[in-house]
């Protein structure tokens, strides 16, 4: 403990010693609680936006201004939307002490990265530059009487090959307009592998039972208007769309031939905080609930994911466990066959349209990601 030098005073020839009263930190004024930034705002721009100082409250009734040093609570990733916690710390002036227990020398704020183009509340049109691949993009509408609301469907009609039967891929993402089907290049693969890609706008429902009814109606509509092979209708989706793919796997066994589930094997403790009542694939399988009949399932997940921003969650471990449970239940004859793709495995031509080559190289350099593929073959019903 540092003691101040005593001050000597003389009173009626009697010597007394007095000490200056200590000054303690008794409070910190909060800063603005929320700052909004556009999608893909870099960290240096975020730091420029945050306040440079805050005010501290002292035991003698005075206030002082102190400088702030900002750091994100978790690694800031500008290519994902959501809420990012930033902590601003400060040093105490030399004559100010801490109480016991001490008051935290920090302030906290949220930096909310806005959704990218085409996300919630930001509909895209066919004039968007992403719809520029060979083939035809069209927009159609369906009206479900139970909901009394119109929905938008975007799909591609192949022009490079005459094929009496097309298989059909339905891409889904809760709250995301159909452009993301193009952003993930499913339209490019449709042109290459000769299938029709359908991307419904599920933003107006956001209720899984309504979404299922809508997908059911889309399949009937496509069968009535196009010569699709009804035995080869597949569904895949990311996040909420991946959860919906899971529901279709269980509830529409005669209409969906297989599903792709991306970033939707959500850890249960995390799911309870975010969306209680939702049953993703990993939750069902852990309860012994299996799909009514074997179908091919493709799952993709990462070790650091989130629904609303950091902290990051391990979706991949739940995915691998789900795959093992399915493989055991389906009596798969081999596997898993394991293939490892190092972080250098990056094909710039396969990136979403909203990621430029410069941004792609930034991501690959600063955020290297390796991929491990597990595959089980010779499963029941000739699935994998």
| Tens digits of residue pLDDT in 247-297 | 999 999 999 989 999 888 988 888 887 777 889 999 999 999 999 999 999
Q: Across residues 173-189, what is the average pLDDT?
A: 50
> Over the stretch 100-128, which tens digit does the pLDDT of each residue have?
999 999 999 999 988 765 555 455 556 65
Predicted pLDDT at 187 = 63
Q: 4-17 in b/e burial notation, b at 16+ Cβ within 10 A?
A: eeeeeeeeeeeeee
* Domain definitions of the chain by residue range: 24-113, 136-382
pLDDT band with cut points at 50, 70 and 90 for residue 201: low
> Over the stretch 212-223, which tens digit does the pLDDT of each residue have?
888 888 888 888
Highest mean pLDDT (candidates 13-22, 145-154, 247-256): 247-256
CA distances from 180 to 123, 175, 263, 297 (A): 11, 11, 15, 21
Q: 328-347 in b/e burial notation, b at 16+ Cβ within 10 A?
A: eebebeebbeeeeeeeeebe
Q: What percent of the chain has pLDDT over 70?
A: 68
Predicted pLDDT at 131 = 59
CATH of domain 136-382: 3.40.50.1820
Is there a contact between 140 and 153 (Cβ–Cβ < 8 Å)?
yes
Strands (E), the chain: 7-11, 14-18, 23-28, 34-37, 53-58, 63-67, 69-72, 82-89, 96-97, 106-113, 136-144, 149-157, 166-172, 195-200, 228-238, 258-262, 296-300, 334-341, 371-377
Predicted pLDDT at 4 = 47
Q: 348-364 in b/e burial notation, b at 16+ Cβ within 10 A?
A: eeebebbbeeeebeebb
Cα–Cα dist 174/373, whole Å? 26
Highest mean pLDDT (candidates 7-16, 77-86, 327-336): 327-336
Length of the chain equals 384
Q: Across residues 336-340, what is the average pLDDT?
A: 93
Tell me: pLDDT of 64 over 90: yes
Of 156-165, 190-199, 321-330, the range with the lowest mean pLDDT is 156-165
Residue 107 β-bridge partners: 88
């Amino acid at each position: 403990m540092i003691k101040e030098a005593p001050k000597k005073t003389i009173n009626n020839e009697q010597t007394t010693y007095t000490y200056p009263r200590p000054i303690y930190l008794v409070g910190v004024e909060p800063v603005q609680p929320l700052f909004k930034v556009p999608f893909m705002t870099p960290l240096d721009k975020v730091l420029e936006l945050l306040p440079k100082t805050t005010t501290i409250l002292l035991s003698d009734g005075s206030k002082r201004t102190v400088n702030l040093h900002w750091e994100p609570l978790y690694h800031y990733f500008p290519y994902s939307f959501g809420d990012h916690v930033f902590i601003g710390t400060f040093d105490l002036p030399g004559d100010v002490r801490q109480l016991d227990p001490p008051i935290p020398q920090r302030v906290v704020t949220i930096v909310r990265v806005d959704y990218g183009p085409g996300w919630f509340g930001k509909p895209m049109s066919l004039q968007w530059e992403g719809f520029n691949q060979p083939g035809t993009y069209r927009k159609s509408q369906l009206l479900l009487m139970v909901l009394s609301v119109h929905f938008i469907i975007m799909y591609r009609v192949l022009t490079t090959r005459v094929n009496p039967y097309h298989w059909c891929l339905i891409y889904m993402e809760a709250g995301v307009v159909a452009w993301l089907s193009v952003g993930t290049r499913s339209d490019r693969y449709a042109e290459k592998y000769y299938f029709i890609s359908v991307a419904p706008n599920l933003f107006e429902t956001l209720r899984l039972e309504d979404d299922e009814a809508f997908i059911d109606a889309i399949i009937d509509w496509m069968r009535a208007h196009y010569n699709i092979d009804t035995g080869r209708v597949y569904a895949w989706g990311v996040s909420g769309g991946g959860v919906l793919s899971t529901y279709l796997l269980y509830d529409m066994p005669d209409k969906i031939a297989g599903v792709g589930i991306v970033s939707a094997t959500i850890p249960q403790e995390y799911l309870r905080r975010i969306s209680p009542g939702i049953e993703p694939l990993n939750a069902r399988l852990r309860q012994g609930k299996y799909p009514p009949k074997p179908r091919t399932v493709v799952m993709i997940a990462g070790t650091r994911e989130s629904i609303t921003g950091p902290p990051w969650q391990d979706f991949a471990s739940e995915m691998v466990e789900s795959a093992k449970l399915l493989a055991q239940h389906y009596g798969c004859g081999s596997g898993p066959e394991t293939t490892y793709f190092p972080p250098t495995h990056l094909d710039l031509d396969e990136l979403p349209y909203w990621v430029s080559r410069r941004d792609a190289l930034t991501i690959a350099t600063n955020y290297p990601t390796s991929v491990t593929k597990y595959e089980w073959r010779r499963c029941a019903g000739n699935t994998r």
